[in-house]
Structure 1
Amino acid sequence: MDREQHVHTIDTPKARIQAPAFACDSHIHIYDRRFAASPGNGAHIVDRATVEDYRRVQERTGTQRTVIVTPRPYGTDNCVTVDAIRQLGIDNARGVAVLRPDVSDTELDMLDRGGIRGIRFTLYTPHQAVVTFDMVEPLARRIAELGWHVQLHWTADQIVEHEALLTRLPCKMVFDHLARLPPPVGTSHPAYGVVRRLAASGRVWVKLSGAYLDSQVGLAGGYADLAETTRAWAALLPQRTVWGSDWPHVTETHKPDTAAIFDLLGTWVEDEAARKRILVDNPAELYGFAR
């Protein structure tokens, strides 16, 4: 059993670096068996990933704010995310929903009042996705007037392939998980150039999260092969990068320790003022938290 499952024990270590006041974990997922999984998408609800479980994680990282992203088992049913925002309190929590173009204006208004501030397109494995690329632009145009953003979990190659689409989007766009730049290519991948060009619009953000998704050295190597990419994004977008733990790390057979993931930010962004921007100021701007 991994350390994350021993959160009740008093000897479980906390993060070594101190989180500033109002630090935000900008990417987690909540799974709660009170909410049924959507049939037919092949994904399953995991255990030990409720709001109460996450509160214990916060005690170890020191983060106070969070952004909950609806996970794949729930399809386009975002009730679990809205409920988690309610439990954590809308002053300290926001959400990112999964929607299709047939969503009603009434539902959009309800989600907005419930703390949703963006919609996610997880398309790195299209055959498993509940949305498609042709849904991105029409939905982006509908949510732009709400001030929401689109969150894109795409491969680096998909970012390059769809540059023209991205250029047309009228709203903010957030690239998940370091924009999935694969090592050892890293910032030499053409996707880095695409995102850098789009960044001139002032509407592009990158999440410093999910290093294990592309790392070749893995947990044992401290994901060191993603350090250069992380530093590059933080330098390119000092006011438009946010950090996320990706808890509860459902993609990983051997779960990383979330406090250790938080400590990685201290090695990647050594300047304390820069870390405060990434953890406090930038997410306040993106998600609408109080300054």
Structure 2
Amino acid sequence: MTDPRNPGPDPDPKKPSLTPPPGSCDAHCHIFGPTAKFPYAADRTFTPPEAPLEDLQRLHKFLGLDRAVIVQSAAHTTRHAVLLDALERGAGRYRGVALIRPDTPDAEVAQLHEAGVRGARLHFTPHLGPAPSMETIEAIVAKIRPYDWHLALHVAGDGAAEHEKLVRSLPLTVVIDHMGRPGLRAGLGSAPVTALLRLLDTGSVWIKLSGSDRIATRPPSMADSAALARKLARHAPERVVWGTDFPHPNTHGFVPNDGELVDLLAEIAPDAAALERLLVTNPVQCFGF
């Protein structure tokens, strides 16, 4: 039985008016199941509808996206079979972000790297479980640093400001998911937004311009979240990437149309050079395509 709080993606995406350039990358998306082959973990914190690789590939073909970064879901926890299968079938078009624990065997980390994983994700959002301790973070960093992986951080609210000191202390590249999910009712001068700008200035922090639907204050309009994405992209155009977040897990109320998310790129990267950098050049550098 699926969780009613996870309705799944819009089944009828619109054809975008914007045509992404060749080699464009969806830098944040997920795969769920099929559960008959890749069952969800018993200790998961949510139960999404199935969204297998075939659904993702169909969507990407429709939208005009050629590459993807597939982020291991907390519904599958550290069972990476679903991710490994997708990376193999992607034949070089995909990269992965894993969920690593301090007790993850070194041999498994090596296997994940060989398959195309280039990052490990940490959650600082209560709905996905307790935040990791500093001891846990240090153990995970020690496991992934030899492979030059990035550390992906999922924060929300004031999290970008609250964890700024932590991010600055990390001895590797950090990628902040979903623009840090700040509350936009406080405007673009709020503490978490200014923290994001300072972190971009370090030169070792990247930001995913994904999750516009999650932080929009007046959905279905995403004008305010697009304004944040545009601000971040102008501030550090060489260290931002973009993603759909398909199939939009843990979405409560407003589920975006993925074609409309692509068209939002016209506001975020308003010229061909900016679009090429955001969708093609930057993902190659950040994820090692």
Which residue identity is paired with 1:195?
L
Q: With the length of structure 1 as denominator, give the TM-score of the two structures.
A: 0.89
Counterpart position of 1:115: 116
Which string of whole-angstrom CA distances, capped at 9 and with x for unpartnered residues, describes residues 219-248 of structure 1? 2x2x11212211111011101100100001
Q: CA deviation at 1:131?
A: 5.7
Pick closer, same or farther for the CA change 1:139–1:3 going to 2, 3 Å: closer
- Tell me the SS of whatever aligns to 2:185: coil
Counterpart position of 2:285: 285
Equivalent pair of 1:25/1:65 in contact (CA under 8 Å): yes
Q: CA deviation at 1:104?
A: 1.7
Q: Give me the whole-angstrom Cα distance separating, in 2, the residues matched to 1:230 and 1:197.
A: 15
Q: Give me the whole-angstrom Cα distance separating, in 1, the residues matched to 2:200 and 2:260.
A: 30
Count, aligned residues: 279
Match of 1:68 among 60, 63, 70: 70
Match of 2:45 among 42, 45, 58: 42
Is the aligned partner of 1:124 residue 2:125?
yes
Which string of whole-angstrom CA distances, capped at 9 and with x for unpartnered residues, describes residues 235-274 of structure 1? 1110110010000112334532211111111122211110
Q: Give me the whole-angstrom Cα distance separating, in 1, the residues matched to 2:195 and 2:260.
A: 31
Equivalent pair of 1:76/1:130 in contact (CA under 8 Å): no
Counterpart position of 1:218: 219
- Tell me the SS of whatever aligns to 2:184: coil
Which string of whole-angstrom CA distances, capped at 9 and with x for unpartnered residues, describes residues 137-187 of structure 1? 331233122110011111242222222221110111011111112112243
Counterpart position of 2:4: none
Q: Give me the whole-angstrom Cα distance separating, in 2, the residues matched to 1:274 and 1:133.
A: 38
Which residue identity is paired with 2:282?
N
Counterpart position of 2:198: 197
- Tell me the SS of whatever aligns to 1:184: helix
Q: CA deviation at 1:35?
A: 0.9
Counterpart position of 1:106: 107
Q: Give me the whole-angstrom Cα distance separating, in 2, the residues matched to 1:130 and 1:14.
A: 39
Gaps of 5+ in 2: 1-6
Q: CA deviation at 1:130?
A: 6.7
Q: Give me the whole-angstrom Cα distance separating, in 1, the residues matched to 2:73 and 2:119.
A: 14
Question: Which of 189-198 and 54-63 deviates more?
Answer: 189-198
Q: CA deviation at 1:67?
A: 0.6
Q: With the length of structure 2 as denominator, give the TM-score of the two structures.
A: 0.90
- Tell me the SS of whatever aligns to 2:143: helix
Equivalent pair of 1:30/1:70 in contact (CA under 8 Å): yes
Q: Give me the whole-angstrom Cα distance separating, in 2, the residues matched to 1:3 and 1:145.
A: 37
Counterpart position of 1:31: 32
Q: Give me the whole-angstrom Cα distance separating, in 2, the residues matched to 1:167 and 1:268.
A: 26
Q: Give me the whole-angstrom Cα distance separating, in 1, the residues matched to 2:151 and 2:137.
A: 8
Equivalent pair of 2:230/2:267 in contact (CA under 8 Å): no
Question: Which of 63-72 and 76-85 deviates more?
Answer: 76-85
Which string of whole-angstrom CA distances, capped at 9 and with x for unpartnered residues, describes residues 85-126 of structure 1? 11222x21000011111112111100000111001112221x
Q: CA deviation at 1:40?
A: 2.3
Equivalent pair of 2:8/2:248 in contact (CA under 8 Å): no
Is the aligned partner of 1:55 residue 2:61?
no
- Tell me the SS of whatever aligns to 2:158: helix
Counterpart position of 1:9: none
- Tell me the SS of whatever aligns to 1:213: helix
- Tell me the SS of whatever aligns to 2:284: helix
- Within-5 A mapping of 1:147-226: 147-219=148-220, 221=221, 223-226=222-225
- Tell me the SS of whatever aligns to 1:5: coil
Equivalent pair of 2:69/2:97 in contact (CA under 8 Å): yes
Q: Give me the whole-angstrom Cα distance separating, in 2, the residues matched to 1:93 and 1:233.
A: 25
Q: Give me the whole-angstrom Cα distance separating, in 2, the residues matched to 1:51 and 1:217.
A: 31
Pick closer, same or farther for the CA change 1:194–1:2 going to 2, 3 Å: closer
Overall identity of the aligned pairs, in %: 32
Pick closer, same or farther for the CA change 1:44–1:282 going to 2, 3 Å: same
Equivalent pair of 2:9/2:247 in contact (CA under 8 Å): no
Counterpart position of 1:87: 89
Pick closer, same or farther for the CA change 1:66–1:101 going to 2, 3 Å: same
